[in-house]
Amino acid sequence: MVRPARRDDAADLARVHIASWQQAYRHVFPADFLSGLDVVGRTERFRRSIEASADLLVAEEERRVVGFCASGPADDEGWGEVYAIYVHPDHWGRGFGHELIAAAENRLALSGYDRVLLWVIDNHPQARSFYERQGWTLGRPIRIEEIGGVQVTLVRYEKRLPASSEPS
């Protein structure tokens, strides 16, 4: 089930986020960086985002948060953006990512966006394959950023959205 995030989800969101990073990016970032990701700090950031009415959706299984997706307006005028999508590694491959991104796309379409984008680390083939299976295509440009002391290349994916007629 996908639903809007609530303030009391913040700690669960932080745990999902950190577990996802530690598994998905272990080949990208140093182990000490990943093991040092701070649950308390992330919990507070999620709490503030939820209170600020961020468009943050969660996926639940048996009333437990197993993933989340954040979306909203992009810096590129007229574009929507999927800012983040993470599913706990214990739940990868079970359809939660698909449900989350479909719900986020629908919300973006309801907000009037017909074009959406997202950024993903270039050398993350699992994520790139997931987005491509959801109908996203590689766009331009790329970005170079430093995260955790590592220079990473981010590639842009884009998608055209059909008009949405029902709320999610």
pLDDT-above-90 percentage for the chain: 89
User: Is residue 96 exposed (0-12), middle (13-18) or buried (19+ Cβ within 10 Å)?
Assistant: buried
Please tell me the predicted confidence (pLDDT) of residue 164.
59
Q: What is the pTM (predicted TM-score) of this model?
A: 0.91
Higher pLDDT, 140 or 88: 88
Q: What is the pLDDT of residue 53?
A: 73
pLDDT category, 165, cuts 50, 70, 90? low
Residue 139 lies in a domain: no
Q: Is residue 132 part of a domain?
A: no
User: What is the C-alpha to C-alpha distance for residues 142 and 122, in angstroms, rounded to an integer?
Assistant: 9
Average pLDDT in the chain: 94
How many structural domains compose the chain? 1
Gap between the Cα atoms of 84 and 100, Å rounded: 10
Residue 129 included in any domain: no
Buried b or exposed e, range 63-93, using 16+ CB within 10 angstroms: eebbbbbbbbebeeeeebbbbbbbbbeebbe
Q: Which whole-number Å values give the CA distances from 62 to 1, 2, 24, in the listed order?
A: 9, 12, 24
pLDDT reading at 167 higher than 70: no
Structural domain span for residue 101: 2-114
**pLDDT(132) > 70:** yes
Please check whether residue 74 lies inside any domain of the structure.
yes
pLDDT single digits (tens) 51-73? 887 799 999 999 999 999 999 99
Question: Whole-angstrom Cα distance, residue 168 to residue 4?
Answer: 9
Q: Considering only CA atoms, which of 57, 47, 53, 140 is closest in space to residue 98?
A: 57
In this predicted structure, which of 20-29, 112-121, 157-166 has the lowest mean pLDDT? 157-166
Q: Assess if residue 134 is contained within a domain.
A: no
In a domain, 145, yes or no: no
When pLDDT is cut at 50, 70 and 90, the band that residue 168 belongs to is very low
Residue 155 falls inside a structural domain: no
- Give the separation between CA 45 and CA 30, rounded to whole angstroms: 23
Q: Would you say residue 149 has pLDDT above 50? A: yes
DSSP string covering 102-149, please?
HHHHHHHHHTT-SEEEEEEETT-HHHHHHHHHTT-EEEEEEEEEEETT
Residue 56 lies in a domain: yes
CATH of the domain at 42: 3.40.630.30
